[in-house]
Structures are given as C-alpha cells and as structure tokens.
Amino acid sequence: MKLKITLIIILLTYSLVNAQIVAIKAGKIIEPSTEKVYDNQIILIENGKIKEYGADIAIPEGAKIIDLSKSTVLPGLIDAHTHICAKVSILADQLGIDFLDLVLLNPDGYLAIQGSVYAKQMLEAGFTTIREAGNSGKYVDVDVKRAINEGLIVGPNIYAAGRIIAPFGGQFRTNADKQYIVNNEYFYADTYDELKKAIRENIFYGSDVIKIVVDSKQYKYSSDDISFIVNEANRAKLKVMAHCQTLEGAYNAALGGVASIEHGWTLPDSILSIMKQKNITLVSTDFPVNVLKAFGSNDEYAKKFHNKLIERLKRAYKSGVKIAFGSDIMVDIDNETRGEVALSYIDSFVEAGIQTMDIIKIMTVSPAELLGISNIRGAIAKGMCADLIAVDGNPFEDIQKLKNISFVMKSGIVYKK
C-alpha cells in the first residue's frame, strides 16, 4: 500500500511539473521552414510542445519565464550522420593496422560509455536530434537511445542505424582467423535471403533506419540489390541510407531509390540529376581540413580532399539537390567537444557559397524531412516538439554566431542555459 501511495505521489508531481507552461521571451526567432525572422516573440510551451508563439501572446499566470530577449531562438539542430559510440585514432597507423580496427576492438560496454559522453556533448552544442550511423557494436546505439529516452543519461533524440548491412567484409580488411572482430559491427549479406534477414534483425532490435555500405570493396551492391533492400525496408516504414564513396556506388544507390546518399564524394552532374528527380537527399559530410588530419591524413592530402568536397557541394547546391547536415565525426579534436567539432562544418557550407538561411535549413528542416520527423521537429510551429536553441546575436546576419549556442531545450526541458 505504501509503495502504491508513493508511486501515485511521484506520478502526480511529475504531471504537475510537466503541465506547467513555460514562456520564452525571444528577442528574435528564425523559422527556417518559412524562411522568416520575427522580432520580440513569446513562445508558450506546454507538455514539451510549442503551444503557440507570437508578438502579442499573453503569458499565463504562474508560467515559468525564460528571458532570451537578447538572443535569437531557432529550432534545435540535427546531425543526420554521426557516430557517438565510435572513436578512431591515428595511433592505428603507427601500429600497422586498419585505423578503424581500434573501434572494433573496443567491447560494447565501453562503446556505450563512450556514446553517453558524446551524446551529452552533441546536445549541449545544440544538436537536439542525431541520426547515429552505426559502427556501434551490437546495437549499442539503440541501447544509448533507450537510456536517453528513459532519462538515465542526457543526450539528443537518436535515430539509430543499428548494424550496418554490407557485402562480405564490410568496410575493413581483417585476417581470416580474426573475422569475429567485425561480426558485431556489420551484417554481411550477399543474397536476397541474407539481405531480408539482416533488415528484419535490425528492425527487431530497434533500428530506426537501415544503413547499407554500397561500395567499400571491389564487389558492390547492384541497383537491383539496393532496390530490393529499399522495398523490404519500406514494408516496415523504414528508410535506407547508403554509404557511397565511388561513382558506380552512388549511381547504383540513386537508381535503387535510397532515401539518402551518405558522403557522395564522387557525384557527377548526371547522378545529381537522378537524385533530384527521385528526391534523394545528399548527406554531404564535408570534413574541414583539421578533421581530415585528425583522421590521419597529411596536410597536403587533407587540403586536396577538402577542396574536392567543396567543389561537389557547390554543384549539388546549384543543382537543387536536397542537402542535409552530417558530420561523420569519429575522432577527437583537442580542446573541442564532438558537438563543437560538428559546428565547425558550418565553414564548409560558407566556403561553398551557400546562403545563410539555406545553411540553417540544411541543419534543421532538411534532415527533419529526411528522418521523417518534419511534423514534430526541425521547425518552430504550434504542436511541434519544443526542441529549441538560442544564440547571442543574429546568425541570419552572421552565421558564425551559430557556433556559440548559449541555450538548449529538448522537449521542453532546458539542458543548457
């Protein structure tokens, strides 16, 4: 009986706290879905959602007031391709092994702890939602997502890719007697029966998206293979993200009808045209030079590869292909958190000549549409989840302001102020 009474009191207390209306006084609001900027707005939040906003909104008696009158409020940012459970090191080169083997050698328990740390860093930098792109052991990304949802740890909303599906061997080279190392990371699938089983296992264990590696070996998934994967995933209402590094791989993925091409480092105009026609999003992962060097590239190669990325980003933007932000971070940078490193990618979009409002949309609206959550996240509107960030000054006038986020709210709860 005492236990029941205690539980009732806890639930009533939670309900009362959760029902309290929060009023944000915003100096400005940037609403990227409508491409509008509003001055001196009041945002009312109830039960973790935006109740209404406007210049003449009356603040209800008893509402909790958050004063951001000297700040600009935007929707929470979304990173559509990151790896919070993984970390690589250039130490691998010194040891004479594939640099990603250092990820694969870590046990799942360690990956989970790593994921919880980086998840918090991403949220505090303003990323209220991420799409976790695998390399996270045996569904560790799903476990981290669950821990966040249950309130055990702090982090963004996670959409998890689970185990990456790939032709035999995945992305790595290992000795024949060391195949167990990569079993957790990848689901090797070469026949249609294997592909179907891999997709269904991912769904069963809680993956939110199906990720495939198209072209990291001499043998690649064909467009027919990819079409089969897309159709099988779509039956369960899941989308497919396709890791593509080569021209042939990107071409096959585009013909196969994936939701997004990840990286797309080799994308001629002909493939961009197919992508636009089929509404395929480019998650461009435009590494800054310092991030490429942290991956182990020398200065000359890092600058050359970065310039290649910027050139194809310019063409993709000019072609009208939808672009969504993705950082693909798997490395640490001295004196910077994972979230701060992700924000540094803004410079790549500036370098490519992308307009400020479009950069903001690439980091909010576009990834929300890609993830299929544009009805609840990625914008500031009535009924949307109260995933909000604030910066001092106006990032519409100076996009660099977006690198210094002073306020973070996820689902109506303040995580940084």
> What is the per-residue pLDDT for 104?
63
Is residue 94's pLDDT more than 50? no
Give 354-402 pLDDT, tens digit per residue: 999 999 999 999 999 999 999 999 999 999 999 999 999 999 999 999 9
C-alpha–C-alpha distance, residues 32 and 410, integer Å = 18
Give 10-57 pLDDT, tens digit per residue: 444 444 445 689 999 999 999 999 999 999 999 999 999 999 999 999
Provide the residue ranges of all domains of the chain, joining segments of one domain with +: 2-75+380-416, 77-371
C-alpha–C-alpha distance, residues 37 and 39, integer Å = 7
Q: Per-residue pLDDT averaged across 163-174, rounded?
A: 86
Q: How many CB atoms are closer than 10 A to CB 4?
A: 8
> What is the per-residue pLDDT for 392?
95
Fold of 77-371: TIM Barrel (3.20.20)
Q: Per-residue pLDDT averaged across 92-118, rounded?
A: 71
Q: What is the Cβ-side half-sphere exposure of residue 236, based on CA atoms within 13 angstroms? A: 19
N-to-C CA span, the chain? 41
C-alpha–C-alpha distance, residues 373 and 294, integer Å = 33
> Would you place residue 6 in the very low, low, confident or very high pLDDT band (cuts 50, 70, 90)?
very low
Q: Supply the mean pLDDT for the chain.
A: 91
In terms of CATH architecture, what is 2-75+380-416? Roll (2.30)
Q: Identify the residue whose tokens are 């959550």.
A: 373
Give 108-134 pLDDT, tens digit per residue: 999 999 999 999 999 999 999 999 999
Do 30 and 37 touch, CB atoms closer than 8 A?
Answer: yes
